Amino acid sequence: MSPRVAVIIPTYNHARYLAGALDSAFGQSVPPDEVIVVDDGSNDDPGQVVRDYPAAQLVRQDNQGLPAARNTGWRASVSERLVFLDADDRLKPDAIANNLALFETNPDCGMVYGAYCDVFANTGEDRCVAVRDPGPDAFAGFLRGNCIGMHATVMYSRAALEALDGFDPSLRACEDYDLYLRLAQRFPIACQPAVLAEYVRHDANMSRNAGMMLKAALTVLRKQRGAAEQRLQWQAAFEEGEAEWIRFYADQWRQSLLRASSPAEFANAWRQAAIIFGASKGAIPATLMRANPVRRLRRALRRRFKARND
């Protein structure tokens, strides 16, 4: 008999997106046995959306953050396979079927995953992102970076999640990356090239906050420093990963600075720069300055002054 599957959908003030996520969960070629929406203390009303889906279960809690909401969801389920879908994202119709098939040929895995597409909310344009294989040493692969670009492409073994006690609720972000690292030390991992989900990109995405995301990613990675020191190849992978996270989010910061067009946006960019500089222990001052921010700020102020006087 095929294992039961639960789709867990945490939501916090994302009721406007929730119907799309629910439609994608219930529209699977292999339907899930459970769909559980966790309202993490929202100020909007996800319950009003869930009422249109009688097969969905709604669990409410005071706001505790995304990791805690995900833990609440999987602990409320009884299924052997678990998928976590953010309320503003969507599953492809064969996502569950493809991951179940991959689990069937890799039954010892703690998790399996696939590729995804970015979908840009403002334009409707999409761009698919190829799957990244961590390689034969999965722990080393995840020390080098987060091989999973989108959490909804992952299907977990419930037994693996229980063994690791789920997500770390103390983390503000990158709790999925933290779980991947812990899981990769204890269980095999398999991936496939099939596109399994759509990552909806919009201005409220937490991943746009480069400073906060770098700080979270390095916090998670550095938790594994002791484990990485047990083998030379893991130590090398750890050092590669640390440098790559700094490079990646410094570049994200630079792009946000290049897009900035108001004093408020520049002020936010400088706050992010301070966080990045601190998290990287001073490793990237040249990267932070490459965009010539002072000249760009002067140009933005001149444009703003001209617009007010036209």
Tens-digit pLDDT profile for residues 190-236? 999 999 999 988 665 454 678 888 889 999 999 999 999 999 999 99
Give dist(CA 33, CA 55) in Å, integer: 9
Contacts of 308 (CB under 8 A, 6+ apart): none
CA nearest 262: which of 293, 287, 297, 219? 297
Tokens 């995900």 correspond to: 70
**Strand 189-201 to 90-91 pairing:** antiparallel
For 4, 72, 83, 229, 249, the CA distances from 26, given in Å and listed in that order, are 14, 21, 13, 45, 35
CATH classification of 5-207 is 3.30.365.10, yes or no?
A: no
Task: List, for the chain, all residue ranges whose pLDDT scores fall below the cut of 50.
Answer: 205, 207, 285, 289, 291, 294, 297, 301, 305
Contact 124, 59 (CB under 8 A): no
- What pLDDT, on the 0 to 100 scale, is given for residue 303? 57
- What pLDDT, on the 0 to 100 scale, is given for residue 256? 75
Extents of the domains making up the chain: 5-207, 209-309
Contacts of 181 (CB under 8 A, 6+ apart): 139, 142, 143, 220, 221, 223, 224
Torsional sign, CA 36, 42, 47, 53: negative
- What pLDDT, on the 0 to 100 scale, is given for residue 203? 60
Q: What are the tens digits of pLDDT across the range 58-96?
A: 999 999 999 999 999 999 999 999 999 999 999 999 999
Reported pTM: 0.87
